[in-house]
Structure 1
Amino acid sequence: MIKARQRQNLVAEIDKHFTLDAHVKEAFLAVDREIFVPNEFKHLAYQLEALPLAASQWISSPLTVAKMTQHLELDGVDSVLEIGCGSGYQAAILSRVCRRVFTIERIDELLKEAKGRFSKHEMHNIFTRFDDGQRGWKQYAPFERILFSATAKEVPEVLFEQLAEGGILIAPIEQSKDYHIITRYYKRNGRITSETIEQCLFVPVLSGTQK
């Protein structure tokens, strides 16, 4: 009961800043953010704060996760690819909206922890891969949606190739050192167009993998 109330309060706080669609709201009510947060920060799990993880990474603010999720326009979508699994919280939210979530993480420690959470909490429609996410996941392409959970200077061409016709890719794009813009890309008739949505701040995407 307490956790359910905490999730309801979290959704209410998000809704004050960003009006949630019904299916996104339901996803947040269904997922305990607390299980994705390090023990020493669990008392902050239901606040609108980004929190530190291992390997100098962060779990995004619930408000940011909500925005990225809603900007993907996921209603009725089957498959989504996430670049940067991190704690696994974003993937868990996506898994409540989409039939299949494919998430890639370049830091082995983070991925092992996230996989343990998915398994323990029976999130069986999330598929994980240890790799540099900028290469995508060709085996399961094309994806209807692709989400970058880290800032990129530009989106690798291979990811546009793995985006389905009619698909959407969301990425925080670095304009300058501390100025990042959430950008939404559309693939129509094989052509990529884009629109800027709003300013944001994410950790940078890095190349290669880290054991």
Structure 2
Amino acid sequence: MHYQKIAQKMCDEIQKSFPLSPKVVAALCAVDREMFVPAVFAHQAYEINALPMVDSQWISSPLTVAQMSEYLAPNGGDSVLEIGCGSGYQAMVLSKMFRRVFSIERIDKLFEEALKRFKCLESHNIFIKFDDGQKGWAEYAPFDAILFSACVREIPPTIVNQLEEGGVLVAPMLEGGKQIIKRFRKRNGILEGGESLSECLFVDVQDGIVSEYKKKS
């Protein structure tokens, strides 16, 4: 497929600043990012920057998606919960790494567009729900991994309860005036670790969650 060569070039560009495992490279190259950006920005789909969507939201840059995927679980697993589906691009990448992906979106326009994309692409292992992501998705818990695709001030106890013992949670969080991607592992029923992995950039916090707008400088 034509997009795979372009996606490989994108991965090569990403790896100039951030090393990727073969598993994540394969996942990124298996997804046509052009399907997830507004048509007017199709020519910029594989550039390493964020792009605007509806409702003043942004589709994460490929670099951010690559980082989050790498930090989450390069070896994959059975199920992953994503909080903040957005365009659906991150969920689609995760679907190449996990057997089942459960994604929640709270903005109706984004939810409807993502749902249409998944149907068009026949993504049978992605399940999406319109709801407040901080409630999680109890019906399918516990999850092997949980990913916040939006910055949070703290991790809700409800979400911690839905993570499998020994599972990994990755979330961009506010720390010392900066926004840092952090990784936790659940042990004895609580989150441990809190590794600070890399700095990221998001818009102002609203309702405890913020959406990414990272751009090339």
Normalised TM-score (structure 2): 0.91
Paired amino acid for 2:94: L
- 1:185 and 2:184 correspond: yes
1:79-98 equivalent positions in 2, closer than 5 A: 79-98=79-98
> What residue number does 1:30 align with?
30
**Distance apart, 1:176 and its partner CA:** 5.9
In structure 2, the gaps of 5 or more residues are 210-217
> What residue number does 2:121 align with?
121
Bigger Cα displacement from structure 2, 15-24 vs 87-96: 15-24
Bigger Cα displacement from structure 2, 168-177 vs 59-68: 168-177
Q: Distance in 1 between matches of 2:134 and 2:19?
A: 31
Paired amino acid for 1:110: L
Q: 1:11, 1:25 within 8 Å by CA — same for their partners in 2?
A: yes
Q: Distance in 2 between matches of 1:149 and 1:206?
A: 15
1:111-190 equivalent positions in 2, closer than 5 A: 111-175=111-175, 179-190=178-189
Normalised TM-score (structure 1): 0.94
**Distance apart, 1:207 and its partner CA:** 6.6
> What residue number does 1:198 align with?
198
Paired amino acid for 1:130: F
Paired amino acid for 2:102: F
Q: Percent identity?
A: 54
Q: Distance in 1 between matches of 2:113 and 2:168?
A: 29
Residues 95 and 205 of structure 1: CA distance in aligned 2, closer, same or farther (over 3 Å): farther
Residues 121 and 101 of structure 1: CA distance in aligned 2, closer, same or farther (over 3 Å): same
SS in 2 for 1:31: coil
Paired amino acid for 1:158: T
Q: 2:173, 2:182 within 8 Å by CA — same for their partners in 1?
A: yes
Bigger Cα displacement from structure 2, 184-193 vs 77-86: 184-193
Q: 2:152, 2:208 within 8 Å by CA — same for their partners in 1?
A: no
1:67-78 equivalent positions in 2, closer than 5 A: 67-78=67-78
State the superposition RMSD in angstroms: 1.5
1:97-108 equivalent positions in 2, closer than 5 A: 97-108=97-108
How many residues matched?
207
> What residue number does 1:7 align with?
7
Paired amino acid for 2:175: Q
Q: Distance in 1 between matches of 2:88 and 2:183?
A: 22
Query: Deviations for 1:155-193, whole angstroms, at most 9, x for unmatched residues?
Result: 11110011100001111112366x201111110122321
> What residue number does 2:215 align with?
none
SS in 2 for 1:99: strand
**Distance apart, 1:205 and its partner CA:** 6.1
Q: Distance in 1 between matches of 2:175 and 2:55?
A: 25
**Distance apart, 1:2 and its partner CA:** 3.6
SS in 2 for 1:17: coil
Q: 1:152, 1:205 within 8 Å by CA — same for their partners in 2?
A: no
